[in-house]
Structure 1
Amino acid sequence: MATLSTPQDELREGEEDVIEHISHEHPLTSFHVNIPNWAMCKGCWLRISGRVYGCRCCGFLLHESCARAPRVILQHPFHPQHSLTIVFDCGKGFHCQACDTEKHNYLGYYCHECQVHLDMPCASAITFPSHPFHDREHNEDGSTMIQHFSHRHPMKSLQLSSVGADIRCKVCELHISGEVYCCPECIFFLHKLCADELPQVIAHYLHPEHPLTYQGECQYRGGTFYCNCCSREYTDMPSFRCESCYFDLDPKCALQTHSAIQEGVATTIQHFIHDHPLTLYYFKPTNYYKPMKNLVFHCEACRQPMTTDGLAYCCLVCDKNNGDRFLLHQSCAHLPSGLEHPFHPQHQLKLLPRAPSAEHFYCSACHERSQGFTFYCAECEFHLDLVCASLKPTLEHHRHEHNLTYFQRSPYKYPSCNFCRRSSRIDVYCCLPCNFNLHHKCLPLPPVIEHECHPYHPLVLFSKFVLGDPNDQYCDFCEEIRNPDHGVYRCDQCWYTTHIDCVISMSEVEGNISTQFEDRRLTKLNEEIASLEETIKVMETNLEALTENLDALKVRKKRDF
């Protein structure tokens, strides 16, 4: 929940600013919002914090920039021919001409003459370029005009901020920001860099018979084509096309694979796991074929679902004959045959396409079941799946002599933190050879502390400290032997040295600083004092009895003699 400041708080900061706004039936007041979680602006639906305008009764919030947005924009860079008026959609929805998406319950701008809509994020993100090109044609509004082979209409130069607007480049399909070219009539956006580097004709290994020519518009009836690389269906999109063979590649597949070849990536490999040659391929996980749009493909090596775009190797023979896609991540296709890994430093691990004695194995690091490749030690029956093989000990911590590896889920069934002794299965750092574990929350250690065990000077954190014989190192606090390879707190001036655990309590690491420190020596002294005090009480009782007897004897003496 968002925390709203009270009117009294606002009065202390100054007089409240109250406005009427078309987006809400009640007046909106300016105030400050503290956000521990997510709260959304009801105008642009982006995260909100800081100074806002809102209705405390309804919980309705607007960014200050959205609330104070001009009611009319006389000349917007995207649609400069007419003025745009601010509007608020109350559920019917409108189509934003910049990002080409339907919007509901959004603030936006509208041209009544052309019926052009811009949502608030796009309207705010698109501006005139700050440094127009002086050697090119300019519009009256100052924007630069270019005629580029990628599009049939002249395009104007614009500047886009990276916040809010969901606009993508038609060539690289990435979110667009910075210097761009735009055809507002066709909703065609192009990175300036893509425009400068886009080739008009390429020779491509997937179709070596003929060159492929860039086509700004689809040449097929209905405006739809299938990419011969990723098999995704595209509508009203450019392509690289062979007119003789009806072979098409979408720009992203064509350019990503073409760039990889120029960097020396092999276009075809023969892998020991598969009978047919594998071809370099740009993988896109969604919308492969309409009948199989919910099908998830897996890498045959790591068995991880292929959920992101990227280079991979594919068997075109299997794909063509029976529709099965044999896929390997590019990184999984070039694994070493042997591996020395810190999770099993005793022996070298050998790469196997499958477990030697079964169809599956359980990884010795994460204990998860896998049917993919394994790095295997026959002598120790040690298996390492490819995900764990990619993990490296990267965290140096004062509590342990070896670097620790981060695991999102604990590799142990019943994990116990070596510091707080509590169990946790998420966000842990481990040293597998030593079975050493630390919770994420137990990691932070203050670099300098003050402690009552050494009130004269502060104690400084050191990764290790050895004075004299390494086998004869003691903690000055508990007077027990300490490991010379472990971190310590010590005084630079007195060389007073302690275990970390002796001066840092569990409650401190969890954020609740405790002023009570356990001192084993003090406990022992307290026990001795308590014992002596009990003895004194007994002796005092006996003394009282003896004194009474003495007094009684004195009285008898006086009476009788």
Structure 2
Amino acid sequence: MEIQHFTHAHPLKLVDSNQKDEVICSICEELCSSSSSTYGCMECKFFLHKSCMKSIPRQLINHRIHPCTLIFITFSYGFEECDCCGDYIVPRMKFSCEACDLNLRVKCALFPTIDSEDAKEIQHFFHPHTLALVHNDEEYGSEPRCVACAQICLATAPTFRCSRSCDHFFLHKSCFFKLPGKSVNIKHPFHPRHPLTITSLPYNDHIRTCDACCRGIDSTLLAYSCREYECKFNLHLDCYELLPSIRFSGHKHLLSLFEKTPDLSCHLCGENCCNFVLRCVPCDINIHLQCFPSAPKTIKHKCHLHPLILTKSPLEYELNSDEEEDEFYCDVCEQKRNQKELIYYCVECKFIAEVNCVVSQVLS
């Protein structure tokens, strides 16, 4: 009827079944249902499932978020933020690495992970609910998309979905490993003023737009966002991976190469950037690839015998053609191309290469 547990200074007494539906377990932070035995300290409003009491360890070794051993600690004063999710640590018990000044609330430290092949359910800081493994024969609607990569979740790829009411939340198992181990204090050169937080919760006050590529962010997808109220800076997961690497004489920041950006104008020529653009995200400066001083006007590429010349499309013979616009192709990838986009061209052979097919040679 009464237990002394290392997570709390006072003895914990068995909670009456009529009271369990009103209290929350301090370890898993789930409602103490009638199906599980619950112990608590009424004076401190501290409650634990019996199963959680048995399963919580005094230390964690080789944790996914932190390589050092994490020690369970209770503290009676002050407010600390969890270094995983950013929320305040309540009710003042944590897993900590004193040497590295790292503190995790118990729920974040004990998140189930998918390191093992037989994991059927996981949880992570970027979503409030557990994620359950989808069975290949399970019916879950037409063409669900992964919240990380936005690709369709096919039955052959191991996929997790929200076990609660978030019908849109699917995550490839492979995509999980590419996500960071913590949500807060993530710094990026695109936004040096404030740290970013990875989140799956859409804003209610405005439509989110990626400040790197200027394309919209689907409200169902994960994104990196700035928590500062007046800032509202956001990044696609893909854009977060893109680091500035191109130097422009006279500018303090490095530039990044973006393939598609809507409604941006080149700061050198004033024309719309409908294809590749070199962009300084913090300064919101855009430069056409053809306007960039060091961009080669002629390249030699393995895809063609002769040199290729940087050319504006459409070409004269294309304008005089009777073929429909969607019937023009890149001779490298043999895919349909937009006639309005920049190309590298061989006049002698009428060989056309899209910039993205030869971009490695262009940047070198």
TM-score range, shorter chain: 0.3 to 0.5
Q: Could you state the TM-score of these two structures normalised by the residue count of structure 2?
A: 0.38
Instruction: Kindly name which structure, 1 or 2, has the bigger radius of gyration based on alpha carbons.
Output: 1
Structure (1 or 2) with the greater helix fraction: 1
Q: Which structure's relative contact order is higher, taking Cα pairs within 8 Å and 6+ residues apart?
A: 2
Structure (1 or 2) with the greater strand fraction: 1
